[in-house]
Amino acid sequence: MQGRSDIPLNETGREQAREVGRELAASGRHWDALVSSPLQRARETAELIGEQIGLTLSGTYEDLVERSFGDAEGYDCTGKSDEQRHAFMEEHGETTEDVIRRGIAVLQRIVADHPDQDVMVVAHGTIIRLTVDRIRGTKLHSLANGEVLDVTAAEVCAASASEPRP
């Protein structure tokens, strides 16, 4: 459980970021701004992607950091079921609802800070998955490193941090 531990990106992660950047560049899409979590692994990922799509990092948002696992940071969950891992995370770290509230609030802040812009946001798997699940009313699988999800400003602005969508 890495959580908020500021672990550097390794060479595999760097290559994954470059590959995502190449794929995004080849897609022909345009972004006006690039922001990330301040944790070094996310910042470096954003910078590597930015090199491929022609953007520099516009800034970081503290609330994009990964879920805090509290005293369980660094704990190895190998062999635990999904239910056991979830219960362990809820007991030792930031609750799912707190992550969702933080995730929606920071996305709403990013939308407000970048009106009428397409913003690429680079963050961490758990905060992305939980936040997008609430915004869309879905249940996403675990995200692969470098997986890209599109969320519109309208979806973000309509989201409620306190109520799941039907």
Phi, psi of 148 (to 5 degrees): -105, 130
In whole angstroms, give the CA distance from residue 65 to residue 88: 20
Check the annotation: does 18 bind a ligand: no
Q: What is the CA radius of gyration of the chain?
A: 16
Rounded to 10 deg, the angle between the 11-27 and 40-53 helix axes is 40
Check the annotation: does 14 bind a ligand: no
Check the annotation: does 102 bind a ligand: yes
Residue 68 contacts residue 37 (beta carbons within 8 Å): no
In whole angstroms, give the CA distance from residue 38 to residue 51: 18
**In the chain, beta strands by DSSP E:** 33-36, 59-60, 119-122
In whole angstroms, give the CA distance from residue 98 to residue 32: 29
Q: Annotated binding site for substrate: which residue ranges?
A: 41, 101-102
Binding residues: 41, 101-102
